């Protein structure tokens, strides 16, 4: 009897979900079809992504790839150019790349059923973010319409969270979305300090007495995985299978770490293990920018819009950190938190631009630099011949909310629909009140 009731309610749930999903479909625009004709953007100010700016330029693209980027006057103005899209007076940027996000892995943060990024257990190198990636998330179009065209989606939680992938944000399914599947592994470096109390009533921190043990466990894991990668073995270990890429293909090992002492230890760990380390977070990275530059360790910085870690720190330190890495010659990217928040990625870069670097450098920090860190710079990250025709057209300065309005966007030459659920609701209620 009880079983039956449960079954009944389960059926109701399923049918609810089905009908819910049916409505939800309407909120997500249809993915754009393949580029079918040669196109050419004309007259825009093109920000290449590598620091270079070309005024009044032509960007020609075909079959999803950029074929030419030229200043006006150096380009033939005949029918061989393809269909002209006039973007005079507008700004053209490469599609933005959002590293380290759970976009598509969750829909509503507080609703457990929608969360698909925390696997149980603490060592899960084998779980793959791409499997959870929901191309029909209603959040994604709100991010995309602000110019973010690529995302690195990342499993969360535990010591070894799992394997990340890079996706493009206009797709029918995850296979379709994948730009670089299973490209890296995310781990969280052990904390030297433990928080006491709980989130609502924090009670300070204490030294983590198990810190050395936690680090040793990580070393043991990686040593075992490395041995597995090279030594013959009879039994298959899924975890180690997934870690092979770190050693044999030099895939990225992203280490979430902020405290300077921990960063230094994470770097040494990477050297000992012979893996490519990328520092993720890196709040204190500015203190050791010279070390990071010398050792060529890339950094994906956490949000710019953060409070300082230390009370005595420069009150604007997080705004200034990127510029310090820039000056020191560190390869770094700027990132945003969470999922829906990714639509503010360019403003994280904008603030950094205000505190010690040029706008073009800040732009690189969300285009070319993440592409280089993700080892995709041969494909995306700049507007250059041979690369993907993925760019965005803004009415004005992309990095400043006063003027940042995306009117057009292309992924692989496909002109994508910039509509989203929020715009629909805006239209619906504007019509109710204002009749349009």
Binding site for other proteins (CB under 8 A): 107-111, 138-139, 192-193, 195, 197, 200-207, 259-261, 305-307, 309-312, 314-316, 339-340, 343-344, 347, 350-351, 353-354, 399-402, 404-405, 422-423, 425-426, 429-430, 433-434
DSSP state of 258: -
Rounded Cα distance, 382 and 385, in Å = 9
Comparing CB distances to other proteins, the nearer of 61 and 339 is 339
Cα–Cα distances (Å) from 167 to 177, 180, 223, 283, in that order, read 5, 7, 31, 26
CB 164 within 8 A of CB 183: yes
Tell me which residue has tokens 């625009």.
Answer: 29
Question: Residue 349 or 380: which CB sits closer to other proteins?
Answer: 349
CB 402, min distance to other proteins, A: 5
Q: Residue 203 CB, nearest distance to other proteins (Å)? A: 7
Structure tokens at 354: 């205000």
> Three-state DSSP class for 249?
coil
Q: Provide the minimum distance between the beta carbon of 369 and other proteins in the complex, in angstroms, as a whole number.
A: 19
**CB of 59 closer than 8 Å to CB of 382:** no
Containing H/E element for 346? Answer: helix 345-354
In angstroms, give the least distance from the CB of 260 to other proteins: 5
Closest CA to 57 of 401, 433, 333, 391: 391
For residue 250, what is the DSSP state?
-
Q: Which is nearer to other proteins, 346 or 374 (CB)?
A: 346
Is the CB of 76 or the CB of 428 nearer to other proteins? 428
Q: Which is nearer to other proteins, 174 or 339 (CB)?
A: 339
Minimum CB distance to other proteins, residue 292 (Å): 15
In this structure, the dihedral spanned by the alpha carbons of residues 190, 373, 137 and 146, taken in order and rounded to 10 degrees, is 120
Minimum gap (Å) between residue 69 Cβ and other proteins? 27
Classify strands 39-47 and 83-86 as parallel, antiparallel or unpaired. parallel
Q: Which is nearer to other proteins, 205 or 230 (CB)?
A: 205
């Amino acid at each position: 009897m009880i079983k039956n009731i449960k079954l009944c309610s389960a059926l109701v749930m399923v049918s609810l979900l089905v009908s819910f999903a049916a409505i939800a479909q309407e909120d997500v625009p249809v993915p754009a079809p393949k580029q079918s004709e040669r196109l050419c953007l004309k007259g825009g100010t093109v920000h290449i992504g590598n620091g270079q700016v070309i005024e009044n330029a032509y960007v020609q693209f075909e079959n999803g790839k950029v074929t030419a980027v030229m200043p006006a006057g150096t380009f033939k103005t005949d029918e061989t150019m393809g269909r002209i899209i006039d973007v005079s007076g507008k700004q053209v940027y490469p599609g933005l790349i959002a590293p380290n996000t759970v976009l598509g892995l969750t829909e509503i943060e507080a609703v457990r059923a929608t969360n698909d990024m925390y696997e149980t257990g603490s060592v899960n190198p084998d779980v793959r973010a791409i499997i959870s990636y929901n191309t029909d998330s209603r959040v994604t179009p709100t991010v995309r319409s602000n110019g973010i065209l690529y995302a690195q989606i990342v499993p969360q939680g535990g010591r070894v969270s799992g394997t990340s992938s890079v996706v493009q944000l206009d797709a029918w399914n995850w296979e379709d979305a994948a730009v670089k599947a299973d490209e890296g592994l995310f781990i969280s470096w052990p904390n030297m300090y433990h928080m006491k109390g709980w989130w609502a009533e924090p009670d300070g921190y204490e030294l983590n007495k198990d810190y050395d043990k936690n680090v040793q466990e990580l070393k043991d894991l990686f040593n075992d995985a490395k041995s597995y990668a090279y030594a013959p073995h009879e039994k298959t270990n899924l975890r180690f299978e997934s870690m092979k890429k770190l050693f044999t293909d030099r895939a990225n090992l992203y280490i979430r770490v902020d405290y300077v002492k921990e960063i230094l230890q994470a770097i040494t760990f990477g050297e000992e293990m012979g893996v490519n380390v990328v520092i993720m977070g890196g709040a204190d990275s500015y203190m050791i920018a010279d070390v990071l530059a010398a050792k060529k360790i890339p950094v994906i910085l956490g949000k710019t819009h953060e409070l300082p870690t230390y009370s005595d720190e420069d009150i604007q330190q997080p705004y200034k950190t990127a510029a310090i890495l820039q000056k020191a010659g560190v390869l770094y990217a700027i990132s945003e938190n969470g999922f829906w928040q990714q639509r503010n990625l360019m403003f994280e870069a904008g603030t950094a631009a205000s505190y010690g670097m040029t706008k073009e450098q800040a732009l690189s920090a969300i285009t070319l630099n993440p592409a280089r860190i993700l080892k995709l710079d041969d494909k995306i990250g700049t507007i250059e011949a041979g690369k993907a025709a993925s760019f965005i057209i803004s009415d004005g300065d992309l990095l400043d909310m006063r003027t940042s309005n995306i009117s057009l966007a292309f992924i692989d030459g496909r002109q994508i629909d910039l509509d989203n659920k929020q715009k629909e609701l805006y239209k619906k209620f504007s019509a109710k009140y204002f009749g349009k």
